Structure 1
Amino acid sequence: MHNMDISYQAGGGWSLDGKSRLPLSIRVVLPFAVMVKAMIMLSMYSSAAILHPICTEQAISLSSALLLAVSFVIMRKYFRQDAAPTYPLFSIYFLWVFICCLRGVFAVDGYWSARALATNAPTLFIPVLVYVFSLPEVTRQVLSVWFRIFIPVFFLFILTLNPDFYASLLNPLLMLVPWLPLLPRRWKLVVLVMACLMVCISMGARSQILKALVALSLLAFYCGRTLLKDCFYRMMRHVLFLLPTLFLVLGLGGVFNVLDVGSYTGVPGSSMEDDLLADSRSIVFEEVATSSVKDGCILLGRTPAQGYETNFQMSQDERQSYQDQKRRAWCEPVLLNIFAWTGVAGLLLYTGFYWQASYLAIYRSNNRWMKLLGVFVAFRWLWGWLEDTNFNLDIMNVSLWMMIAMCYSSRFRAMTDRELHEWVGSIFRRSSSNRVSSVHIP
């Protein structure tokens, strides 16, 4: 981003290239769209009748369209081709997604496949959020609004919420848990308490519990930072990217199925242990792979209109809707969706986002905090084989791509520990007065 400098000018507010204020789309519309997504998700899991009018299919679709539209406007207006040296992978990915969606138009064979295409296609463009959140001022603005508005609302309705979804609603906190020492004193306690709440409140949300535990583990790594060298972060990154391949080989060889750990214990467990170890993914992997092999779509994918064939993973309503088609439009693991819709080609491109983001954060950053975030992004790729679903542009996807964007951003990576400390502190202040360098790190 050589030609773009968004900085703070005394008495003049945030400016782009020193000429204009931070545009309305960033100052108001983008935080508003993110807050709407957060409130919709809150209303989905709350029994409070006052929130129910918020959660409508129209509100979900319109808020997603608004968020993606604003992101594309920012990308087109402020990211010129010569100003984004680390983003060619995204251009290739968006081109491939467009081709897959075009193929999907010709693959439509009825109402439900058309609906699947209309629902799934926009979610494939979620990575455009990287262009938005790679700007420190934008990320600060969105997080500041989220903390000032959503957190109080969350506690206001906490008794009406399903405990299984606390962690899902508080996903943006996961990014800040490893950075806890950077937070203002009052917010350190708030974030730590809420992170512990994610882990302890319910054993039903296995995915969110594990993500919170990993974030807390990264915080523990920071506490032992004097013993950790750069090679530790690099080793962790390599391990996290290699584990799926190892588990795949062991699973195909019939040696060990990591998705069915409970069957190897040999002794009956409590109901809580059974819930934590239950295998709910093996059949999904089998069905997605079988569908792609059957149709010869391993390389190119079945398109967002077709999903995958299933005999087990459909609800009663889905069976009645699809009648004899026995197709499901999406599944929970994000990487399986990408594979089913866009094939190995799309999966490799999508994996490239995590690979490049974690590499830049760990190998090309001036501060230790970004290295921790790089390890967390590598873990999120590993976890994408089991969860991190992308069938909806919700607050979980927003927070995930915010982290990936920060790893891509040369400005975040150029910050020193002190500068990043100041930036995190500015999230919790009503105004920010620190200028952040936009030095480019190749």
Structure 2
Amino acid sequence: MAICHANVCMEEDMYFGNWLMFSVQIAVITIIYMYRNVLCPKYLTEDYKYVNLYLRWTYILSVIGFVVADNYIEYRQLFVGIVSLLVPVLCWLFCRPTISLNLLSTWYKYAWLPFLFLFYFKLGFTQFYMQPILVLVCLFPLFPKKTAMMILLLGVLLATKDIEEERAPFIKATVAILTGIAIYIRNVLPTKIIRIGRVFCFFCSVIVFVFVFGDAYDVFAGKADVEEVVHSNKERDVVEKDTRSLLYIDVVTSAIDNEYLIWGRTPARGFDITYSGVLFWFDKTISYNKNERHKNEMVLSNILTWEGLVGLLLFSLIYMRGSYLAVYRSNNKIIPILGCFIAWRWSWGWVEDVNNFLITDVDLWALIAICYSSYFRRMSDGEFIVWANGLLSKKHRQLFQRLKIEERND
């Protein structure tokens, strides 16, 4: 419960209270839209169909949100929700190899330091501001041996830091390391195995609900009541606690009871706090508009609340199409493995991966953009390795520029 409480407080501090950050987010989104033809010339092609359909659905729900919002808090929630829902535009930003190379290499060289000072004393050493490191962790075998070992050690540090209290960073960093290992042995991995791996990564969502969120199933099936679930959680140690089940019970029952399961409640509103109130109401200083929680840690449950099953399907198809293009339409054996990682991140979205337009989402959407980008997918293994090494080496960035890999024309 303490973890959930911390996340609630962080949500209000980082989003509702920080209008400067919100202004920067709006400015970045505006710039991406203004230059989308330059950033991603192919954004209107068949490959990006589901990205565009999802964004159009977001526009519709955003307009409806302006109509249904009836107080200051809901208008504030609306703006936060819109920004969160527009995260997929990062597919356009990281489409071109040269642009993505410059953006990521600049962060690895300079930007991590301000984030360290801004967030370390509040959050500690976590993936909240070190998230772009996971891109390097996934690609660690592509670097020279010493650099690869340093990246791998950093990935292990991210995975094991506060492992007893923070399970999510451990799992996410561990899967990134396994992705890197798969890339290391890519030449002996049959294409069929990679394709099966993609399907398995999507199937992990079923495993999550059967074995991780078992409490939610027991409540819906009438095998246990909420009080029994709460008491059971209190008796478990930190690693075994199931704090997500009560949230899912509320998300689903709220959507059904208020009849917004198909179309969504708009990003101005949240889900009713009925069962999960026991996770938050122990602190009487926390209050919620209309007894609703606007968002939580599970990205796909937020999409379901704000945009209904229609939005959830379109958002999920972004992952599915990206992983399909990576696995079936690539000229190299590196990006197909990244496509499997993207498939797994969709399954992980039922557990965590909050949709924020922040540095915390850069690793995921940069990798999704790579899977969508025909520029990246046309590269050979050697060309992609040159690009990857350019993330940390000025010499390789110059080499990549000379190769002019990015500027090939169809």
TM-score norm. by structure 1 comes to: 0.77
User: Is the Cα contact below 8 Å between 2:299 and 2:349 reproduced in 1?
Assistant: yes
Cα distance change of structure 1 residues 253 and 185 upon mapping to structure 2, 3 Å threshold:
closer
CA shift, 1:254, in A, is 4.8
| 1:376 has 2:376 as partner | no
Cα distance change of structure 1 residues 394 and 155 upon mapping to structure 2, 3 Å threshold:
closer
| 1:365 has 2:334 as partner | no
> Which contiguous aligned blocks of 4+ residues in structure 1 show a shift greater than 6 angstroms?
154-159
Task: Give SS of 1:375's match.
Answer: helix
User: Is the Cα contact below 8 Å between 2:205 and 2:348 reproduced in 1?
Assistant: no
| 1:196 has 2:156 as partner | yes
Task: Give SS of 1:202's match.
Answer: coil
User: Is the Cα contact below 8 Å between 1:310 and 1:326 reproduced in 2?
Assistant: yes
Cα distance change of structure 1 residues 317 and 367 upon mapping to structure 2, 3 Å threshold:
farther
In structure 1, what is the equivalent of residue 389 of structure 2? 425
Cα distance change of structure 1 residues 363 and 193 upon mapping to structure 2, 3 Å threshold:
same
Describe the superposition over 1:169-208 as per-residue Cα deviations: whole angstroms up to 9, x where unpaired: 2211212213112224553233222111101221122111
The residue type paired with residue 53 of structure 2 is: I
Describe the superposition over 1:346-395 as per-residue Cα deviations: whole angstroms up to 9, x where unpaired: 000000010011111111111121112111101110000010011x3111
Cα distance change of structure 1 residues 82 and 223 upon mapping to structure 2, 3 Å threshold:
closer
Cα distance change of structure 1 residues 255 and 413 upon mapping to structure 2, 3 Å threshold:
farther
Q: Which aligned pairs between 1:280-291 and structure 2 lie closer than 5 A? A: 280-291=243-254
Q: For residues 417 and 393 of structure 1, what CA distance do their matches in structure 2 show? A: 31
User: Is the Cα contact below 8 Å between 1:358 and 1:374 reproduced in 2?
Assistant: yes
In structure 1, what is the equivalent of residue 109 of structure 2? 148
Q: Which deviates the most, 292-301 or 424-433? A: 424-433
In structure 2, what is the equivalent of residue 94 of structure 1? 55
In structure 2, what is the equivalent of residue 126 of structure 1? 87
CA shift, 1:321, in A, is 5.0
Q: For residues 82 and 355 of structure 1, what CA distance do their matches in structure 2 show? A: 17
Describe the superposition over 1:100-152 as per-residue Cα deviations: whole angstroms up to 9, x where unpaired: 11121221132222221121112111111101101111110111111111345
CA shift, 1:155, in A, is 7.1
Cα distance change of structure 1 residues 439 and 170 upon mapping to structure 2, 3 Å threshold:
same
5+ residue gaps in structure 1?
Answer: 1-43, 45-51, 258-267
In structure 1, what is the equivalent of residue 5 of structure 2? none
Q: For residues 334 and 255 of structure 1, what CA distance do their matches in structure 2 show? A: 22
| 1:389 has 2:330 as partner | no
User: Is the Cα contact below 8 Å between 1:308 and 1:327 reproduced in 2?
Assistant: yes
Q: For residues 28 and 75 of structure 2, what CA distance do their matches in structure 1 show? A: 23
Q: For residues 114 and 87 of structure 2, what CA distance do their matches in structure 1 show? A: 26
User: Is the Cα contact below 8 Å between 1:178 and 1:372 reproduced in 2?
Assistant: no
| 1:338 has 2:307 as partner | no
User: Is the Cα contact below 8 Å between 1:351 and 1:381 reproduced in 2?
Assistant: yes
Q: CA RMSD in A?
A: 3.4
Q: Which aligned pairs between 1:5-84 and structure 2 lie closer than 5 A? A: 57-77=18-38, 79=40, 84=45
The residue type paired with residue 413 of structure 1 is: R
CA shift, 1:219, in A, is 2.2
Task: Give SS of 1:87's match.
Answer: helix
Q: For residues 383 and 273 of structure 2, what CA distance do their matches in structure 1 show? A: 51
Q: Which aligned pairs between 1:298-377 and structure 2 lie closer than 5 A? A: 298-311=261-274, 312=277, 313-314=279-280, 316=283, 319-320=286-287, 322=289, 325-377=290-342
In structure 1, what is the equivalent of residue 7 of structure 2? none
CA shift, 1:246, in A, is 5.9
Q: Which aligned pairs between 1:109-120 and structure 2 lie closer than 5 A? A: 109-120=70-81
CA shift, 1:168, in A, is 2.5
User: Is the Cα contact below 8 Å between 1:288 and 1:340 reproduced in 2?
Assistant: yes
| Number of residues of Structure 1 aligned to a counterpart in Structure 2 | 377
User: Is the Cα contact below 8 Å between 2:39 and 2:92 reproduced in 1?
Assistant: no
The residue type paired with residue 352 of structure 1 is: L
User: Is the Cα contact below 8 Å between 1:171 and 1:399 reproduced in 2?
Assistant: yes
Q: For residues 336 and 349 of structure 1, what CA distance do their matches in structure 2 show? A: 14
Task: Give SS of 2:320's match.
Answer: helix
5+ residue gaps in structure 2?
Answer: 1-9, 222-231
Q: For residues 376 and 362 of structure 1, what CA distance do their matches in structure 2 show? A: 11
In structure 2, what is the equivalent of residue 260 of structure 1? none
The percentage of counterpart residues that share the same residue type is: 29
Q: Which deviates the most, 187-196 or 95-104? A: 187-196
Cα distance change of structure 1 residues 295 and 256 upon mapping to structure 2, 3 Å threshold:
closer
Task: Give SS of 1:320's match.
Answer: coil
Cα distance change of structure 1 residues 374 and 255 upon mapping to structure 2, 3 Å threshold:
farther
Q: For residues 127 and 307 of structure 2, what CA distance do their matches in structure 1 show? A: 30
